[in-house]
């Protein structure tokens, strides 16, 4: 499963040169991940009500070209299982108009309960995310 969403770079995302600040790419990863989970039928607010949390444990981002003020970005997100208790989301960010790549990367996430203990990803979540039969 792949989710595609868009985001327009706002003035507050940029520096005086009109170039997006590098840490904003991590926010855009989060936008992609949030929309992926919403589309999969397991949005973050449901997970939290169910006592399931997905903290980021590791991140990688490769910057290829700068995002500029007013660019319409295309954020593509996919997910893969890492283990029974961890997920890895992959991201590609490019220009919506011509699909020029701006950045790519991934985030690793643990699956925790309310007590911050590792738990197995529930079957219904695995199924919703396209990671298993559920």
Contact call for residues 90 and 103 (beta carbons, < 8 A)? no
CATH number among 3.40.50.2300, 3.40.50.1370, 3.10.129.10, 3.40.50.620, domain 3-124: 3.10.129.10
Rounded CA-CA distance 15/52 in Å is 37
pLDDT in tens, the chain (134 residues): 999 999 999 999 999 999 999 999 999 999 999 999 999 999 999 999 999 999 999 999 999 999 999 999 999 999 999 999 999 999 999 999 999 999 999 999 999 999 999 999 999 999 999 887 65
Alpha carbon separation from 133 to 122, 123, 126 (Å, rounded):
11, 8, 7
Domain regions of the chain by residue span: 3-124
Buried b (16+ CB within 10 A) or exposed e, 86-102: bbbbbbbbbbeeeeeeb
d(CA 58, CA 55): 9
Element (H, E) at 24: helix 24-39
């Amino acid at each position: 499963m792949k989710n595609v969403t868009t985001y327009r770079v706002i003035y507050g995302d940029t520096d005086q040169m009109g170039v997006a600040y590098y840490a904003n790419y991590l926010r855009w990863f989060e936008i992609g991940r949030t929309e992926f989970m919403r589309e999969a039928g397991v949005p973050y607010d449901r997970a939290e009500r169910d006592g399931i949390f997905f903290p980021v444990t590791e991140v990688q981002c490769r910057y290829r070209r700068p995002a500029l003020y007013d660019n319409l970005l295309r954020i593509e997100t996919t997910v893969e299982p890492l283990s029974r208790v961890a997920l890895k989301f992959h991201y590609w960010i490019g220009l919506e108009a011509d699909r020029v790549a701006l950045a790519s990367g991934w985030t690793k996430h643990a699956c925790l309960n309310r007590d911050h203990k590792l738990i197995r990803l529930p079957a219904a979540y695995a199924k919703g995310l396209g990671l298993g039969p559920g």
